[in-house]
């Protein structure tokens, strides 16, 4: 890792990035350790030779919204002691072109090269790499900014607003989400030096190997296993903008965590077998064929009743984490929805409701079906974008923030 070298000081890149990220966080920007790590990588990939290049590298990593620019510029100016107002040069192609011309002319002139325009820290090119041309840094910087901007758009934009080619990338990312189901006690035990009780069977086996003398007492400790995940997805017409992404999520959980997958609109359809294959495209095509009531009306109470009567009471819902993906719009009587949700709540360990409409500004659960179900829900999340699905991951792991527990929505 190259060190950042200034005129009279040296700074280790990780410490430099962490300190700058801390200053931005104190000023109100939502910067975390991950962005500090990205900043270190950006400095390694595109070593800045001037304060302007350092500004663009930092802004690319830390600024995710136009409203954050004023705060970022103020902190950058305070940290690096610039004499200019960098807001004047945002997107100023003429200034960047003039800077490139000055560098090119300086490189052609004989004698020692004049110092860089800025007095801030600069990062030398790592040893063993070819010397960069005068425009390589600018081109690499633009490439890095374009990639970062695209990733930010994919992560923050609602699934319903993404283009088809972007949806393909999002479906791949959603299918690879790292989900950690909560653990439940298992019937099996394991030998442990300090277990809570004596394991007679293992103790007798050890005694037989020692000639019948119980020389060593074997203790037993309980084991645990992940709880089952059950997904019930609404595939009615009102959920169509989100159905493809949610099916990718279901396919990833079925293939990676042996989850159980069901879809419902006017009737319930089990799709666990169709989604069990590792080939996401083939799994989604089979799922579309299996669900005959795709993009029709919504019968939430009937779908939950069919699941409990046909599968839940037989063991699929007992002690499981049940995830319902629906906007809460239903043709059923709200009293029926409340009754079926109460039955499901008595069977399941935890119920997580994912409503993509919750991500809209000023959302209130005014849909009658949603209002009837909420008192029986343990966690209520939006899941309307890839960034919002991280809240679902925490809810599955039973790490929901206070205020999202059952009856507190």
Q: Domains (ranges, CATH) in the chain?
A: 4-156 (no CATH), 185-226 (no CATH), 229-396 (3.40.50.410)
Q: How far is CA 67 from CA 38, 63, 70, in A?
A: 21, 9, 7
Q: pTM for this one?
A: 0.61
Along the 409 residues of the chain, how does pLDDT read in single tens digits? 444 444 444 567 888 888 888 888 888 887 777 788 888 888 888 788 888 888 888 888 888 777 888 888 888 888 876 544 444 444 544 444 444 434 443 443 334 433 333 333 333 333 333 444 444 444 544 444 444 455 666 788 888 888 888 888 888 888 888 898 999 888 877 777 777 778 878 888 888 887 777 777 888 888 889 999 999 999 988 898 898 899 889 989 998 889 999 999 989 999 999 888 877 677 777 777 777 777 678 899 999 999 999 999 888 999 999 999 999 999 999 999 999 999 999 999 999 999 999 988 889 888 889 999 999 999 999 998 988 898 999 999 886 544 445 655 5
SS3 of 351, please?
strand
Question: Which residue, chain included where needed, has tokens 């006690």?
Answer: 185
Token pair for 291 = 């669900």
Strands 183-192 and 219-226: antiparallel
Closest-CA residue to 57 (of 44, 68, 66, 67):
44
């Amino acid at each position: 890792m190259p060190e950042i070298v200034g005129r009279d000081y040296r700074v280790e890149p990780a410490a430099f990035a962490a300190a700058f990220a801390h200053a931005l966080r104190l000023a109100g920007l939502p910067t975390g350790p991950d962005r500090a790590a990205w900043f270190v990588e950006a400095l390694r990939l595109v070593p800045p030779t001037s304060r302007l290049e350092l500004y663009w590298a930092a802004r690319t990593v830390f600024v995710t919204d136009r409203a954050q620019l004023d705060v970022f510029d103020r902190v950058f100016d305070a940290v690096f002691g610039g004499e200019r107002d960098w807001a004047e040069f945002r997107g100023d192609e003429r200034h960047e072109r003039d800077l490139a011309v000055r560098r090119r002319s300086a490189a052609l002139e004989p004698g020692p090269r004049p110092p860089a325009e800025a007095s801030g820290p600069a990062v030398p090119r790592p040893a063993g790499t070819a010397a960069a041309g005068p425009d390589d840094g600018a081109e690499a910087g633009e490439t890095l900014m374009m990639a970062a901007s695209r990733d930010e758009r994919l992560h923050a934009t609602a699934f319903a607003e993404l283009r088809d080619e972007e949806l393909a990338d999002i479906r791949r990312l959603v299918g690879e989400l790292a989900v950690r189901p909560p653990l439940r006690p298992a019937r099996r035990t394991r030998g442990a030096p300090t277990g809570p009780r004596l394991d007679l069977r293992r103790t007798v086996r050890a005694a037989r190997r020692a000639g019948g003398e119980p020389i060593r007492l074997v203790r037993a400790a309980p084991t645990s296993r992940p709880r089952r995940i059950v997904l019930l997805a609404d595939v009615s017409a009102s959920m169509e903008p989100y159905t493809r992404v949610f099916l990718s999520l279901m396919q990833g959980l079925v293939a990676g965590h042996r989850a159980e997958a069901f879809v419902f609109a006017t009737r319930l359809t089990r799709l666990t077998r169709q989604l069990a294959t590792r080939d996401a495209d083939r799994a989604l095509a089979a799922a579309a064929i299996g669900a005959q009531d795709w993009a029709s009306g919504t019968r939430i109470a009937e779908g939950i009743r069919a699941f409990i009567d046909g599968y839940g009471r037989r063991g699929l819902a007992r002690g499981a984490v049940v995830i319902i993906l629906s906007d809460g719009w239903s043709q059923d009587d709200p009293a029926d929805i409340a009754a079926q949700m109460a039955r499901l709540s008595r069977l399941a360990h935890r119920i997580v409701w994912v409503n993509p409409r919750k991500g809209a500004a000023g959302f209130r659960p005014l849909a009658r079906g949603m209002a009837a179900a909420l008192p029986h829900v343990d966690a209520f999340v939006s899941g309307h974008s890839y960034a919002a699905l991280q809240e679902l991951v925490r809810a599955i792991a039973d790490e929901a923030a206070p205020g999202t527990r059952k009856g507190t929505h």
